[in-house]
Amino acid sequence: MYTQSLNEPSSRPVEALDDAERLARFQARIDAEEKIEPKDWMPDAYRQTLIRQISQHAHSEIVGMLPEGNWISRAPSLMRKSILIAKVQDEGGHGAYLYSAAETLGVSRAELIEQLLSGRAKYSSIFNYPTPTWADTAAIGWLVDGAAIMNQIPLCRCSYGPYARAMVRVCKEESFHQRQGYHAMLSLARGTPSQRRMAQDALNRWWWPALMMFGPPDTASHHTGLSVKWKIKRFTNDELRQKFVDFTVPQAEFLGLTVPDPVLRKGDDGHYITGALDWSEFNAVLKGNGPCNAERLRERRTAHDDGAWVREAAIAHAAKRSARAVA
Amino acid sequence: MSQTQDWPLFEIFVRAKSGLDHKHVGSLHAADAAMAIEHARDLYTRREEGVSLWVVKSSDIVASDPRDSDALFTPAADKIYRHPTFYDIPKEVETL
């Protein structure tokens, strides 16, 4: 159950188990591929890691509605517009599933939203890049959602039950996002010379940021070790990045587009070898200095503030109706 | 920035198709049950996932405590005679 009220510590005295013994039992359950559920004992660090990861994931979905939302009113056909609306609505839904999963760990929705709007919480750096052309929405679906799927499929087997179940739902919908993006990209790639240029330009701008979505290289990632041990993470950042490159390069070739990496080549083992990633750019965007960081947060705050009266009115209306029902 | 209290939490149950049980799918916040139905429709049935919805205030659900799991559920393990496969019946006896 996703009930918050049941997550509160009960008044019953805690069993006489020391932390080491409880920790050993917990790890044994994880090793046996058992799911951890909200009311089960868990180490505080596990809880905090999950709250951080799930809420960042939720924030990313919500902020991720903005770059593509930019094109809803200017989609090139009614069909593309309907598809884009459905996709952006899905992103909002993914945010809602994930916030619910985070709330099972004892944090409130209001707290999480406040962390996002105050700028304290992080979200995926990819959404701080602009979408100046229609081809950007196509590239986002193909590359950004494609990279997200690589990350998310292993999360369906994550040790924390509510997160794993939310991810199953998300992944079912994500495949539509990636395919519609590739389909839109294909239309441009098979279109006029200027449409092909637009598609190539979008690939040029999204390729490297998409690779950085997998996070810092394994040698520099602070969170990987424990997360792997706790089966929150099943593969390292570099493993997933490699898989994404191996899948995506042939897809770009089919489109007749050029991956913007002059040293990209296929190694003897069949895996592609890419040029070096510019992590200074990644870190700058993560620290808030990307092209759109300020704009994204401003838009979220405005939406939140503009909706305040609706949230308050709905509560007042519900209270009035329930008072009338009692009378 | 205005900080409002969260709307109450509701648990959502969806009947995937006629003849099946309602199954728990997740939760959402809503001002009241009527709004929870509307939000559940948008959040959990965008792709024909259901034909009927139940919404229940999370605070109204009482759940068993994982620490009671042994007391509640383990005793059934040594009562294998409750299962039909416990009984060896001669092959000659048909339709049993």
The confidence band for A228, taking pLDDT boundaries of 50, 70 and 90, is confident
Measured CA to CA, the distance from residue A93 to residue A83 in angstroms comes to 15
AA letter at B29:
H
Does residue B86 fall inside a structural domain? no
Percent pLDDT > 90 in chain B is 68
The sheet carrying B22-29 orders its strands as B22-29, B9-15, B52-57
Q: Computed from CA positions of residues A149, A151, A154, A160, in that sequence, does the dihedral angle turn out positive or negative?
A: negative
Q: How far is CA A146 from CA A60, A93, B70, in A?
A: 15, 18, 44
Q: Does residue B82 lie within any of the structural domains?
A: no
- Digit-coded pLDDT (tens) for B21-39: 999 999 999 999 999 999 9
A29 interface with B at CB cutoff 8 Å: no
CA dihedral A252, A196, A76, A80 (to 10 degrees): -10
In which band, very low, low, confident or very high, does the pLDDT at A222 lie, cut at 50, 70 and 90?
low
What size, in residues, is chain A? Answer: 327
In a domain, B47, yes or no: yes
How is residue B3 written in tokens? 């900080």
Residue A224's pLDDT band, with cuts at 50, 70 and 90, is low
- Alpha-helical (H) ranges within chain B are 33-44, 69-73
Residue of B nearest to A87 (CA): B46
Min Cα separation A205/chain B (Å)? 32
Q: Give chain A positions within 8 Å (CB) of B46.
A: 86, 89-90, 93
Average pLDDT, chain A: 91
d(CA A248, CA A254): 10
Q: Quote the pLDDT of residue A13.
A: 44
For residue B27, the chain A residues in CB contact (below 8 A) are 2-3, 100, 103
Q: Is B9 helix (H, G, I), strand (E, B) or coil?
A: strand
Least confident of A62-76, A295-309, B69-83: B69-83
* B49 within 8 A of B62, measured Cβ to Cβ: no
CATH number, position B52 = 3.10.20.520
A3: nearest CB among B32, B47, B61: B61
B20 belongs to a structural domain: yes
User: Alpha helix (H) ranges present in chain A?
Assistant: 19-31, 44-63, 65-69, 78-103, 109-117, 134-139, 145-155, 161-189, 193-212, 224-229, 237-255, 279-284, 293-306, 308-326
- Please determine, for residue A89, whether its predicted confidence score (pLDDT) is greater than 80: yes
B66–A318 C-beta distance less than 8 A: no
Task: Judge whether B46 is closer than 8 Å to chain A, CB to CB.
Answer: yes
B46 in a domain, yes or no?
yes
Q: Is 90 exceeded by the pLDDT of residue A230?
A: yes
Whether residues A114 and B3 touch (CB distance < 8 A) is answered with yes
> Helix A293-306 and helix A308-326: axis angle, to 10°?
30
Tokens of A144: 């950004």
B80 domain residue, yes or no: no
Nearest to B6 among A6, A109, A308 (CB): A109
Between residues A2 and A66, which one has the greater pLDDT? A66
- Residue pair A314/A251 in contact (Cβ under 8 Å)? The answer is no
Expressed as residue numbers, the domain containing B49 is: 3-64
Residues of A in contact with B4 (CB under 8 A): 110, 308, 311-312, 315
Average pLDDT over residues B75-86: 83
Rounded Cα distance, A106 and A99, in Å: 11
Please indicate whether residue A93 or residue B81 has the higher confidence score (pLDDT): A93
| A238 to chain B, closest Cα gap in Å | 32
pLDDT digits (tens, 9 = 90+) for A162-189: 999 999 999 999 999 999 999 999 999 9
ipTM over 0.90 threshold: no
The answer to whether the CB atoms of B27 and A108 lie below 8 A apart is no
Cβ contact A165:B26 at 8 Å? yes
Q: Is residue B34 part of a domain?
A: yes
CB pairs under 8 A between A and B: 88
Q: CB contact, 8 Å: A8 with chain B?
A: no
pLDDT 10s digits, A101-143: 999 999 999 999 999 999 999 999 899 999 999 999 999 999 9
Share of chain A above pLDDT 90, in %: 83
- In degrees and rounded to multiples of 5, residue A252 shows phi and psi of -65, -40
Q: Which residues in chain A touch residue B7, judged by CB atoms under 8 angstroms apart?
A: 311, 314-315
Q: What is the pLDDT of residue B38?
A: 97
Q: Which residues contact A68 (CB under 8 A, 6 or more apart)?
A: A84, A87, A88, A91, A131, A137, A140
Residues constituting chain B:
96
pLDDT of residue A282: 85
**pTM for this prediction:** 0.89
B3 touching A (Cβ < 8 Å): yes
Count of the separate structural domains present in chain B: 1
Least confident of A84-98, B2-16, B54-68: B2-16
Residue B89: inside a domain: no
**Residue B67 CB partners (closer than 8 Å, separation 6+):** A12, A15
Q: Do A110 and B27 touch (CB under 8 A)?
A: no
Cα–Cα distances in Å, from A68 out to A4, A61, A64, A248? 33, 12, 7, 21
Q: Is pLDDT above 50 for A2?
A: no
- pLDDT score at A35: 96
